[in-house]
Structure 1
Amino acid sequence: MPALMNGWALTAKELAEVAGVTAQTTSGHLAQLTGAGLLAMERQGRHRYHRLASPAVAQMLESIMSVTTGDLVAVSRAKVTRVGPRDLALRRARTCYDHLAGQIAVAMADRMIERSQIELSPDGGVLTEEGVGFLRGLGLDLDAISARAARRGGGRVFCRPCWDWSERRLHIAGALGAALCTACFEQGWMRRIEGTRAVAMTSKGKLVLSGSFNFRDAFD
């Protein structure tokens, strides 16, 4: 469980590698921990990811680790194998169906969460009034986005979270995530890299997105 303290969600195979035990043993332990409410399991396609169930669980683990010998968190992180694509461009930014994924997409979601502009959880996503004002300031027509989502067969979810393959954190999906991705291309903030799902920020995008989302020069 210390390997999950960084907010990642890992597969049973990855957790087995960290713990140095068999997949069967790991599956049994994961089932018990999930049943006890300490872990939560998320499905993304054919994969199952396991994460800490709540900040309260993380706080409890941190308290336990504070009285143990050695830095279990550092040891666990050192053992975790690389997840997601090896290609640095794909890890930085890429498309995930019709929305953005990768480090930049997760950073966007993180900043909006920090500012109380959006609420993301495994149960869904909600754009707050602060978020509405922020995204309209970027030029997104939220009324049109919501209307288009409602017109689709069965209605499309306006805002939902999506587990990021490489970052193992949440990024923004649904109609809102798709519209944000479209805006990035149409406004010339991002460009596609030919022959791959990877995308890159343009010079204009670095100026606009870094300023709007306060990337702190992390993606220069």
Structure 2
Amino acid sequence: MGINPNMAEIASLLGETSRATMLASMMDGRFHTASELAYMAAIKPQTASFHLAKLVDGKLVKVEKQGRHRYFQLADEEIAHLLESFLAISPPPEVRSLKQSSQMKLLQGARTCYDHLAGKLGVQLTESLLDAGYLKLEEKQFLITSEGAQFLTDFGLDLDDLKRKRRSFSPACLDWSERRYHLAGALGQGILAHLLSLGWVTRVPSIRAIKVTEKGRTGFKEVFQLDI
């Protein structure tokens, strides 16, 4: 039996270092210009545009035009899950500088995976909800218990609104650094957005790391019994 041609195409797209770097940069769930992605991948803008065209053709990336500008983003959350799974089985990158070491520690501690929380904090938060009986895991999907629905509503989430979104509600996403599942989907996005609005966490500029504030340390302890 021959290899699935679509799988071979995806493997080819991911197998080029510059494209892989740009895809990893887009795992923050935001739109980026070709120039921004070129800078992140340390390549020329023309080279970045060439690679981005291939990623768009391969349905891994989508492009949105605003006037004369073009903005690029991962095609959807499923692509983010795919990339996170690849990262989970990939060898860790070689750290060649103190800056790289610091950034890697930040990313492993807390980061965005598309639009939800990942890293040690994402896994800890997910497991605290499981341990409290607010979530249960069944076949790579997290299910909210009745107690969990009440807890999350009291925390400030509009679960009905999140369920109306045209996407998976609460899938399990394999975390590449923790090698365990974190909460993804509309519920994962809703929790991260709420944490940002509360001021418990902030985004780290230029990389997709997330930083916990002093207010957040207190909140995570009081609400989720997490020592951050």
Bin of the TM-score, shorter chain as denominator length: 0.5 to 0.7
Q: Which residue does 2:168 correspond to in 1?
A: 157
Tell me the CA shift for residue 197 of structure 1: 0.2
Number of positions where the alignment pairs a residue of Structure 1 with one of Structure 2: 139
Asked if structure 2 preserves the Cα contact closer than 8 Å seen for 1:191 and 1:201, the reply is: yes
Of the candidates 122, 125, 132, which is equivalent to residue 115 of structure 1?
132
Distance 1:49 1:182 in 2: 25
2:93, 2:171 → 1: CA distance? 23
Aligned partner of residue 204 in structure 1, secondary structure: helix
Please give the alpha-carbon distance, in whole angstroms, between the structure 2 residues aligned to 1:83 and 1:124. 30
Summarize the alignment of residues 37-48 of structure 1 with structure 2, pairs less than 5 Å apart.
44-45=82-83, 47=86
Say whether the 8 Å CA contact 1:190–1:205 is kept in structure 2: yes
Structure 1 partner of 2:148: 131
Distance in 2 between the 1:186 and 1:109 partners? Answer: 19
Does the Cα contact within 8 Å between 2:87 and 2:176 map onto a contact in 1? Answer: no
- Aligned residue for 1:142? 159
CA distance 1:49–1:187, change in 2 (3 Å): closer
Q: SS state of the match for residue 200, structure 1? A: strand
Report the counterpart of residue 102 of structure 1 in structure 2: 119
2:195 corresponds, among 172, 184, 202, to 184
Could you report, residue by residue, the CA deviation over 1:15-38 in whole angstroms, capped at 9, with x for unpaired residues? xxxxxxxxxxxxxxxxxxxxxxxx
Q: State the AA in 2 paired with 1:96.
A: C
Contact 1:98/1:178, CA 8 A, preserved across alignment: yes
CA deviations on 1:184-217 (whole Å, 9 max, x unpaired) are: 11111110111110011111111112221111x2
Structure-2 separation of matches of 1:203 and 1:158: 30
CA gap 1:49/1:98 in 2 versus in 1, 3 angstroms: closer
Output the CA distance in 2 between the equivalents of 1:48 and 1:200: 21
Share of identical aligned residues, percent?
35
CA RMSD of aligned residues (A): 2.4
Q: In the superposition, relative to structure 1, how do residues 83 and 141 fare at CA in structure 2: closer, same or farther (>3 Å)?
A: farther
Q: Secondary structure at the match of 1:120?
A: strand
> Which secondary structure does the structure 2 equivalent of 1:195 belong to?
coil
Pair 1:186–1:48, CA change in 2 (3 A):
closer
1:167 aligned residue: 178
Higher helix share: 2
Deviation of 1:123 (Å): 3.2
Give a deviation string over 1:48-67, Cα, whole Å, max 9, x none. Answer: 968xxxxxxxxxxxxxxxxx
1:203 aligned to 2:214? Answer: yes
* Partners of 2:109 and 2:119 within 8 A in 1: yes
Query: 1:121, 1:161 within 8 Å by CA — same for their partners in 2?
Result: no
Distance in 1 between residues matched to 2:184 and 2:93, nearest whole Å:
21
User: CA–CA distance in 2 between the matches of 1:168 and 1:117?
Assistant: 22
Query: Where do 4+ consecutive residues of structure 1 move more than 6 Å?
Result: none
Report deviation, 1:137: 1.8
CA 1:199–1:123 in structure 2 vs 1: closer, same or farther (change >3 Å)? Answer: closer
Q: What TM-score does the superposition give when structure 1 sets the normalisation length?
A: 0.58
Asked if structure 2 preserves the Cα contact closer than 8 Å seen for 1:83 and 1:165, the reply is no
